Amino acid sequence: MKKILTLLAALTLSAASAHTAVSGVTPAPNATVSAPKSVTLAFSEPVELRFSTFRVMAVPAGVTVAEAARRALAEKADSVALANQPVKLSGAAARLALTLKPRLKSGQYVIAWKILSEDGHPVTGSSSFRVR
């Protein structure tokens, strides 16, 4: 009985400490695609959109994807440096599509996010793709 209680406690603690994760990104990470009209992110659970940030930006020459993601998240929503259209978000969702500006130039792009999960914890991440 003691082993069962210990196992149940461990399972409960690991479930409680789990945070929202991005479970899918389109275009797929490191994919090379024709200029997409949008990017899509899927989450392991709904995220609070009003308190989350999503950006798509071309990766400047000589800059790492990680640094480009940091820069993208620092940009204002209507910045001309961004490849996504400005969007105002509210509510919670387990899936999000960001419309991109028309005629993206060839090169590498980063999709960057900072999400607020329903448990109140921020999660930051990024993915990249190339436009041919």
**Domain over 19-131 is classified CATH 2.60.40.1220:** yes
Give the pLDDT band of residue 1 (cuts 50, 70, 90).
Answer: low
Peptide bond into 29 cis (omega under 30): no
pLDDT of 14 > 80? The answer is no
Choose among 13, 37, 17, 16: nearest CA to 27.
Answer: 37
Cα angle, residue 110 at apex, residues 108 and 115 outer, rounded to 5°: 170
Q: What is the pLDDT of residues 54-106, one digit of tens each?
A: 999 999 999 999 999 999 999 999 999 999 999 989 999 999 999 999 999 99
pLDDT at 8: 42
Mean per-residue pLDDT over the chain, rounded: 89
Residue 24: CB atoms within 10 Å: 13
pLDDT of 11 > 80? The answer is no
So where are the chain's domains?
19-131
